Structures are given as C-alpha cells and as structure tokens.
C-alpha cells in the first residue's frame, strides 16, 4: 500500500522528520503516536502529498506521490487536524464540491456523495449549514470528504480531538467501519483510543520512528517485571510470615493499608505468574485476600520506554540549508514597529486616522466564495 524510504523533512536548520523508512500494509488500522513535536503531523502531511519532502520517497500503490501526484492521490483520503470546511455550505453542497475537485461528475458524483453521507450518518443534517452543526457532526463531514471517491487509504489526524464522550464513541465506531474497506492511519494523543482501534502501532519521537509493531509484540519487546498488588486482612507481621512460604517470590513490600489490613506489592519474576501460589498461601493461613490486581505492561509503559531514549533532532540541516547561506536582515531594512508619528511624517508618510481605517474596510471588495 505505502512504501516510505529515507523520508526526511527540514524546516530551516531543524530536522522535523529524520530518515523514516516503513511500510503500511493493506487492511490494518495504524496508530501514529508521539509526544508533541515528534513529527507526526509533518509525516502525515507528506504521506498525503500536502507537504514537500526534503529527501526520501513515498510510493502509494506503486505511484510516487511527488512525480505522479494525480495517480497516487486517487488512493488517499485525508482529514487534517482542523477539517477544511466551508461553514456557508451544507454538507451535501460541500461534499459535491470535494467530489468535483476529485474529478467526479454526473451520476458518479451523486452516487459518491450519497454513499459518503450514508456511511458517516449525515442524512439528517445534510441540508443544514455547516456553521450550525455541532463539533461532532462537523468532524463527520470532515471524515466524509476524506472518503469521497472510495480511496484505499484514509489518513486521519487527531480525528476525535475536542469531541465529547458520546461523539468520541460515534467517531470511533465510524473509523472501525472505514477499516473494513481499506487501510486507516490515524494519529492521536489518546493512548486508550489507539489501543482500542489499532492493530498496528507506530511511535515517533524527535523526528524518528522508535517503535513499530503490534501491541502484543511491543509489550513483549519492552517487557519488564509485572506487578501484583494485594490487600489482605491481617497486620504487616502476619502478612510477612505468610509471604515467606510463597516459593519463587523474593521482591515485595508490605505497608499498612488505608482501607483495611495490609497492602502488598510483589515484583513478579519474568515469565512467572505467582497469583495461584499467593492465593493458596493466604487461604491456608486463613487470611482473606480482599483484593488482587495483576498489572502487565501497558501501551503507556511502551510509549514512555520507547520515547525516553530517542536521539535529539538534528539541528545542522541539510547541505542546501547551510547557516552561512541564511543572511540576517540589515538594520536599515528592518521596520521599526514603534516608529512615532513624527518619524513617519519625515518620510512623507501619514498614519491613517481611525475613520480612514474604517473606510478602507467598508466591505465593498467582499465576494462570496460560491455563487
């Protein structure tokens, strides 16, 4: 589906994306994770062909997105973090506009718009102005425009940001439906959302890809010791006596509980689950276990471990952006924003009065976007 090779992007001398290489396979939901400034949005913009690269190649179904943009972009639907909506249009009008921009006409256009409206459940609001829709419905309109024309790949940048819990559930359900027809790539800061939706996870940090695999494989890769916590109905000394009979467990702490009895935190040996031994030891001693919780490594743990050792962004920039090529503006050419009325008068300029400013913006040059 997507083959990315040595993808690099510089902004001046700052390396935002550094030598990324990866493959996106058909039929999966990919979760793009990373702290702020990791390069996620920059990468997604380049994947969608909305931003030029400094170096590297992106192939969409074998089509180079920069040498053959029309051929490559036919396979892509893209929803930026802020959907590019026209509030003076209805969802139906807006989707017709997007469909025409994608080259659809006549019956093909009408069919594509009808399918997008049905797929995103916009039928009840298709004739209302977008400006009057809720945030959730506007997000649905944004997703609908990404699906127009039946692209194989849907790229969604923060699709649930700013939505209330009910709207989040609705959009997540919609994303699952979209994944049945193709590949979905989404970025999110909500780890639970990625854990729920995605079967492939990619983690970026400081412009580099630091982890890429299924959650299960990442958990194995970054596995540490699991933690078993208990609340038992006895004092610390009694709990310590019972724990001494649990074979294979050597690392644990016992503290007075704020609720009742004692709290025990056991560091479990790797590849060994001591819950059964602990249960029978306390049962034999006649001491009730009030609660037991076995904590395995989570996506949050994987995220923190994967990003903590990422290399710093490269600051030197590529050869074409040498610092010697960047010239600071001459002081004489730099405008002084604090120049007073006298200085302006000396140069033959006159500061406009408040009434003159209002006359300059009387709305005579306003033109509607459509019609």
Q: Are residues 239 and 274 in the same domain?
A: yes
Q: Are residues 104 and 168 in the same domain?
A: yes
Q: What domain range is 75 assigned to?
A: 2-221
Q: Give the pLDDT confidence of 334-353 residue by residue, as tens digits.
A: 444 444 444 444 444 444 44
Take residue 224 and report the two structure tokens written for it.
């540490």
Q: How much is the pLDDT for 310?
A: 63
Q: Are 35 and 310 contacting, i.e. CB atoms less than 8 angstroms apart?
A: no
Take residue 262 and report the two structure tokens written for it.
């004692």
Whether 330 has a pLDDT exceeding 60, the answer reads: no
Q: Are residues 27 and 111 in the same domain?
A: yes
What's the order of all strands across the beta sheet hosting 227-232? 252-256, 262-267, 227-232, 289-295
Return the minimum-mean-pLDDT range out of 28-32, 144-148, 269-273. Answer: 269-273
* Selection from 174-178, 241-245, 329-333, 355-359 with the highest mean pLDDT: 241-245
Q: How much is the pLDDT for 185?
A: 95
Name which residue leads in pLDDT, 17 or 221. 17
Name which residue leads in pLDDT, 223 or 278. 278
Q: Are residues 259 and 156 in the same domain?
A: no
Q: How much is the pLDDT for 366?
A: 35
Q: Are residues 61 and 210 in the same domain?
A: yes
Whether 356 has a pLDDT exceeding 60, the answer reads: no
Q: Are residues 65 and 178 in the same domain?
A: yes
Is residue 358 assigned to a domain? no
Is residue 336 assigned to a domain? no
Q: How much is the pLDDT for 211?
A: 94
Q: Are residues 187 and 272 in the same domain?
A: no
Domain boundary among 200, 221, 242: 221
Take residue 305 and report the two structure tokens written for it.
């471990």
Q: Are residues 283 and 205 in the same domain?
A: no
Domain boundary among 181, 201, 221: 221
Q: Are residues 200 and 271 in the same domain?
A: no
Q: Are 61 and 333 contacting, i.e. CB atoms less than 8 angstroms apart?
A: no
Percentage of residues in the chain having pLDDT higher than 70: 83
Q: Output DSSP code: residue 225.
A: -
Helix, coil or strand: residue 255: strand
CATH of the domain at 253: 3.30.70.100
Return the minimum-mean-pLDDT range out of 53-57, 61-65, 293-297, 302-306. Answer: 293-297
Considering its fold, how many domains does the chain have in total? 2
Is residue 170 assigned to a domain? yes
Is residue 237 assigned to a domain? yes
Collect all residues with Cβ–Cβ distance below 8 Å to 317 and sequence separation of at least 6. Answer: 10, 12, 13, 14, 15, 323
Q: Strands 200-205 and 252-256, how do they pair?
A: unpaired
Q: Are residues 106 and 120 in the same domain?
A: yes
Domain boundary among 177, 204, 221: 221
CA gap 265, 159 in Å, rounded = 39
Is residue 83 assigned to a domain? yes
The helix (H) or strand (E) run that includes residue 79 is strand 76-79
Helix, coil or strand: residue 14: strand
Collect all residues with Cβ–Cβ distance below 8 Å to 127 and sequence separation of at least 6. Answer: 90, 92
Q: Are residues 65 and 155 in the same domain?
A: yes
CATH of the domain at 12: 3.40.50.300
Is residue 75 assigned to a domain? yes
Q: Are residues 38 and 147 in the same domain?
A: yes
Q: How much is the pLDDT for 344?
A: 41
- 314: pLDDT confidence band, cut at 50, 70 and 90? low
């Amino acid at each position: 589906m997507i083959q990315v090779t040595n993808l690099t992007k510089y902004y001046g001398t700052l390396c935002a994306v550094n030598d990324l290489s990866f493959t996106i396979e058909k039929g999966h939901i990919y979760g793009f994770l990373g702290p702020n400034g990791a390069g996620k949005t920059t990468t997604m913009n380049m994947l969608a062909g909305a931003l030029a690269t400094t170096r590297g190649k992106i192939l969409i179904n074998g089509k180079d997105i920069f040498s053959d943009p029309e051929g490559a972009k036919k396979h892509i639907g893209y929803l930026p973090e802020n959907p590019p909506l026209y509030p003076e249009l209805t969802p139906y009008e807006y989707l017709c506009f997007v469909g025409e921009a994608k080259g659809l006409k006549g019956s093909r256009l009408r069919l594509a718009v009808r399918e997008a409206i049905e797929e995103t459940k916009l039928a009840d609001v298709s004739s209302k102005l977008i400006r009057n829709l809720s945030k959730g419905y506007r997000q649905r309109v944004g997703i609908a425009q990404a699906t127009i024309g039946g692209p194989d790949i849907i790229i969604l940048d923060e699709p649930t940001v700013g939505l209330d819990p009910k709207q989040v559930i609705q959009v997540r359900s919609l994303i699952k439906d979209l994944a049945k027809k193709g590949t979905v790539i989404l970025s999110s800061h909500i780890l639970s959302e990625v854990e729920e939706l995605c079967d492939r996870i990619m983690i970026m940090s400081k412009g580099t890809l630091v982890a890429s695999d299924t959650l299960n494989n990442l958990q194995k890769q970054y596995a540490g010791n699991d933690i078993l916590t208990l609340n038992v109905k006895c004092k610390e000394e009694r709990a310590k006596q019972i724990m001494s009979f649990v074979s294979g467990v050597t690392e644990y702490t016992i503290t007075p509980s704020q609720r009742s009895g004692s709290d025990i935190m056991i560091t479990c040996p790797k590849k060994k689950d001591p819950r059964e031994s602990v249960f029978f030891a306390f049962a034999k001693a006649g001491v009730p276990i009030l609660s037991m919780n076995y904590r395995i490594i989570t996506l949050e743990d994987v995220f923190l471990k994967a990003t903590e050792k990422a290399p710093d962004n490269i600051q030197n920039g590529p050869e074409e952006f040498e610092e010697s090529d960047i010239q600071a503006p001459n002081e004489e050419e730099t405008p002084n924003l604090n120049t007073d009325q006298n200085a302006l008068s000396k140069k033959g300029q006159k500061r406009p009065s408040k009434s003159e400013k209002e006359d300059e913006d009387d709305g005579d040059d306003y033109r509607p976007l459509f019609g």
